[in-house]
Amino acid sequence: MTEQLIARSIARAEQCRRPVEYIASPSLRKEEHVRAIVETDGIIEGLVAVLTCVEPCRSFEIYKNKNEKKLELVGRNRKCKFIYHYEIHPVFGFTHTRIQTWFPFNIQIGINGREYLARQMDKHDMAYTRSGNCFPDIENLAKAQRLMNAMHKIDWVKALDRICRQVHPAHESMFDGLGFHYYWSAFQTEWATDVMFDSTRDLQAIYPSLLRGAIAGFDCREVMRFLGRKQLNRFPDGEVTSDYGEALAAIDTSQTIGNWASELSKGFVKKGKRYRGIKLFAKEEMQLLEAVGSGDFLTSGFRNGDLSERLYGRSPNDEERLRRSNRIAYRLRLLRAHGLIHKIPKQNRYHISTKGRNVITALLQLQSSNLKQLNSIPA
C-alpha cells in the first residue's frame, strides 16, 4: 500500500512537469526552498514542487506478547517517508500538503489565511502592500474584512477532500469497498492580529514603550526565530546587551513599580491557604519570571514541563524529574495566587495574565537598567 501511495502521489508532479526532490537535511527550510522555485520558474498557479524526506511518525508494528502468547498490533514512534506537495491553490494561495506514507496515512494540509486574503484581493483588483506575512497597507479595509469573513462560509470538508484527492489519488483503490474517509480536524492553528494606525502621530506616541517592552520581554533567540534567521554564534546564550538602552517604562499602566514591589513581596492568606511573597530580584525568582514571560509561550501557554526544561534542562532520571515537577508546581501555585498567571480551563497549561505581563516586563527592564539610565528618567 505504501508503494502504491508513493507512486500515485508522485505521478502528479510528473504529469505537471514539476520537480520531485528528496530532502536529506532536516535543517533545510522547505517553504523557503519552494518559494525560491516559485520565483525562478515564475509560477502563478498550480503545483510548484513535490518534496520527499524521512521524518518521525506515529505508526504501528507487530509485537510478540510472550505472556499472552499472541501477536499484538501496537502504536510506536517510528520514522517513515513523507511526501510534501507545495502548490499555489486557486482559492487558498500558497499551501502545502504533508502525507505520511505508512499506516494510518495521516495527511496535514497547511493553509495561510493571509495567502487566502491576498488571493481574493488579487481577484477583486484591490491595491495593497504586502511585506512577508503582513499587510502594512490595504486600499479598502472594509472590503478586505468581508473577503476574510467569507472563509467562515467555506465547506471545509469538501474543500479539503478535493485537495486530498489530488495529492493522494490512490486512497480509494487502497481501501476499495471499505468506505474509509478522512476525518478533518485542526491539528495546529495560529491566530494573529495586525494593529493598523490611522496616523503616524498615534503610533509615535506609544512606539517607544512598545520598543522598550519588546527589548525587555524578548531575547535574541526569540527575535532571530521570528525573523526566520539562525541565532548568532557570537551570542551563544541568546543575550545581546546595548549601551543605548532608554529609560525604564511599563507597557500600558501608570502604576509605579514601587507599588507592585510592595504588593508582590508581602505574604497573604487566600481561601485558608497562606502564600509567601515573591522574592523580587532573587536569581531563582527572576529566572522563573523571565521564563513565564517568554514569547515562546505567548500563544499556546506553558506547562510544568516546559518551565522545568527551560530552567533546569532535560532531567537525567525519573526521580529528578519528579522533584523538579513538584518544585515547579509549587511556584506555579504561588504565581497564580499573586495573579501573575492563570490556568487554562480543562488543561494543564497556563497563560501569563495582563498584570503578570506588565509586572514582569517592568521588573526585567529595571533589572537590566544601570544607574545612569535610571537617573536620566525625569522625576
- Angle CA(291)–CA(293)–CA(294) in degrees, nearest 5? 65
Half-sphere exposure of 69 (CA within 13 A, CB side): 0
pLDDT tens-digit profile of 192-230?
777 888 888 888 888 877 877 777 666 666 677 666 666
pLDDT tier at 243, thresholds 50, 70, 90: very low
Among the residues of the chain, which ranges form H helices?
2-16, 30-41, 113-123, 141-149, 156-167, 171-174, 200-217, 220-226, 257-264, 283-292, 304-312, 318-337, 354-368, 371-375
- Report the C-alpha gap between 372 and 169 in whole angstroms: 68
| Per-residue pLDDT tens over the stretch 127-162 | 999 888 888 889 999 999 999 999 999 999 999 999
Amino acid identity at 200: T
What does the pLDDT look like over 323-354, one tens digit per residue?
Answer: 899 999 999 999 999 999 999 888 889 999 88
Grid coordinates given for 132:
512577508
Quick check: 246 pLDDT over 70? no
The answer to whether 210 and 49 are in contact (CB under 8 A) is no
* Residues in contact with 321: Cβ distance below 8 Å, sequence separation at least 6, in sequence order: 308, 315
Task: Using the structure block, give the residue that is written with the C-alpha cell 492553528.
Answer: 189
Per-residue model confidence (pLDDT) at position 340: 92
At residue 360's C-alpha, the angle toward residues 357 and 363, to 5°, is 145
pLDDT band, very low/low/confident/very high, at 252 (cuts 50, 70, 90): very low
Report how far residue 82's alpha carbon sits from residue 232's, in angstroms, rounded to the nearest whole number: 31
What distance in Å separates the CA atoms of residue 99 and residue 109, rounded to the nearest whole number?
Answer: 9
Query: Cα 61–65–67 angle (5° rounding)?
Result: 170
How high is the pLDDT of residue 229? Answer: 64
**Grid cell for residue 27:** 535543517
| β-bridge pairing 134-138 and 268-270 | unpaired
- What average pLDDT does the segment 261-280 reach? 87
Arithmetic mean of pLDDT over the chain: 84
CB atoms within 10 A of CB 107: 19
Inter-axis angle of helices 354-368 and 283-292, nearest 10 = 130
Beta bridge partners of 73: 62
Residue that the C-alpha cell 506575512 belongs to = 133
Flag the least confident range among 12-26, 217-231, 234-248: 234-248
Give the H/E segment covering residue 131.
Answer: strand 128-131
- pLDDT the model gives residue 247: 32
Give CA separation, 254 vs 258, 259, 325, 346, in Å: 12, 11, 36, 34
* Confidence at residue 180, expressed as pLDDT on a 0 to 100 scale: 86
**What is the structure's pLDDT at 234?**
52
